[in-house]
Amino acid sequence: MSTTLTVPPSRLRRVRSTALLLGPAFVASIAYVDPGNVASNVSAGAQYGYLLVWVIVLANAMAALVQFLSAKLGLVTGRSLPEVVRERANRPVRLAYWAQAELAAMATDLAEVVGGAIALQLLFGLPLLLGGAITGLVSMLLLVVQNRRGQQPFERMIIGLLAVISIGFVASLVVSPPPVPSTLAGLLPRFDGTRSVMLAAAMIGATVMPHVIYLHSGMARDRHGHPEPGPARARLLRANRWDVGIAMVIAGTVNLSMLLMAAHTFGGRDDVNTIQDAYHAVHTALGAGAALLLAVGLLASGLASTSVGAYAGAMIMDGLLRRRIPLLLRRVVTLIPALAILAVGIDPTRALIVSQVVLSFGIPFALIPLVRFTSDRTLMGVDLNHRVTTALAWVIAAVITALNLLLIYLTVTGRGS
């Protein structure tokens, strides 16, 4: 006798309605699988094997909480994080705050354009400068869609690129799975010298991204509006938990796959120092197909993340300064530093890792106001953070800030090289 499992129609309707609300967190998650992640995670796996697996897991868990708080701020207040900062700060503070946020956005753009250029060089043998220009041009086309067609078509394109990225980086683990005991051993928090601390900071900077902390609050508001307290808002907040949870699981899986692939395929080798080295090592160890998927994933990562970065920069400027520069013009201006890096011949992988360290410096400036605002009853009303949530968020802010201070010390004293 067989039984048929049926799902109540009301539950199916709830699932479908929740699925239709997903999207903003997937756009934000692109920032967590950008070329800077590739450089940091591959370097960590190649140099230290499975040692820093715990950093990936911890950073992704932190990112999930942070991104939900960002979306929550936008939904509950009807304002983006930069707009709330603007309301609470005087003009000099706003200008200084905007300057550091722009620096973080420029560091993001550097990583993304350089990563796209490396991918095009691996795939087609193009010079890095030409590849960077092509990456910038394609990102402009993606922004044209957002500018003319609205947020949801842009979300769908970014989600499609996220699927390509996921396949590109997870494929190597399917071809050659890493040993489970070594992977589990990497969950024990520890370091091995100052260089591993610098890489850990770069990995966190590549995962908890300041520019999408700003962006997500505005995207959630623009997508869902500003519902009044009650069932409609509660439903949106629940949907955003699913949105963030699913997106962060995907991003975390991709990040972990990068590190595990590097650790398993060429961990302990001292001749894998760049993304190009990693590509050729994968080609030798796993075959041309796995190497091709790696390069395609890197290219999709660069194209998607540079578009998201430009979108975030425009929202930061508008929110803090009430100044709007046409998005495509902004894309041209922010492309210049990345192309300059490629033109003067600086090692692109090193530039990627340094850019992630710069991003790590910017995280407290986004995170501390976010925690403070979402814990403010006068601003959030009945939807303010639970005490446990606030405590966890402050711990995250303290850990990241302490790691940044240590990193500054290591850099200034030369002990991090």
DSSP one-letter string for 200-238: HHHHHHHHS-HHHHHHHHHHHHHHH--PPTTHHHHHHHH
Which residue in this structure is represented by tokens 């609470």? 88
DSSP character string of 227-269: PPTTHHHHHHHHHHHHHHHHHHHHHHHHHHHHHHHHHHHHTT-
Contact 361, 207 (CB under 8 A): no
User: Tell me, what DSSP letter sits at residue 270?
Assistant: S
Question: What is the spatial distance between Cα 287 and Cα 124, in angstroms, rounded to a whole number?
Answer: 18
- The whole-angstrom separation of Cα 31 and Cα 8 is 37
CA dihedral 134, 334, 142, 35 (to 10 degrees): 70
Residue 27, both tokens: 């756009």
Sequence spans of domains, the chain = 21-189+199-413
CA angle 112, 309, 236 (to 5 degrees): 130
Which residues does 359 contact at the CB level (< 8 Å), separation at least 6? 36, 104, 107, 108, 111, 205, 206, 209, 210
Closest CA to 74 of 203, 197, 221, 173: 221
- pLDDT at residue number 39: 78
The closest alpha carbon to 34, from 220, 151, 205, 153, belongs to 205
Q: Evaluate whether 265 touches 176 at the Cβ level (below 8 Å).
A: yes
Please state which CATH class domain 21-189+199-413 belongs to: mainly alpha
Nearest Cα to 33, choosing from 251, 326, 266, 313? 251
Confidence (pLDDT) at 408:
66
Question: What's residue 226's pLDDT?
Answer: 83
User: Which residues, given as ranges, of the chain have pLDDT below 50?
Assistant: 1-5, 12, 16-17, 20
Angle at 54 between CA 162 and CA 192, to 5 degrees: 125
Residues 35/183, Cβ–Cβ less than 8 Å: no
CA–CA dist 147, 328 (Å, integer): 9
d(CA 262, CA 48): 10
- 103 vs 80: CA distance, rounded Å: 19
Q: 240 burial class (0-12, 13-18, 19+ CB within 10 angstroms)?
A: buried
Q: pLDDT for 331-367, tens place per residue?
A: 788 788 888 888 888 888 777 767 766 777 788 899 9
For residue 249, the model assigns a pLDDT of 93
Q: Which two tokens stand for residue 88?
A: 């609470």
Tell me the C-alpha distance between 122 and 291, whole Å.
Answer: 9
Which tokens go with 355? 């850019």
Nearest to 119 by CA among 284, 349, 276, 237: 276
Percentages (nearest 5) of helix, strand, coil residues in the chain: 85, 0, 15
Q: What pLDDT score was predicted for residue 42?
A: 86
Helix (H) or strand (E) holding 346: none
Q: How far apart are CA 282 and CA 350, in angstroms?
A: 20
Q: What's the pLDDT at 20?
A: 47
Q: According to the model, what pLDDT value does residue 353 have?
A: 67
Considering only CA atoms, which of 367, 385, 287, 335 is closest in space to residue 106?
Answer: 335
| pTM of structure | 0.87
8 A C-beta contact, residue 205 and residue 358: yes
Greatest pairwise CA separation for the chain in angstroms:
75
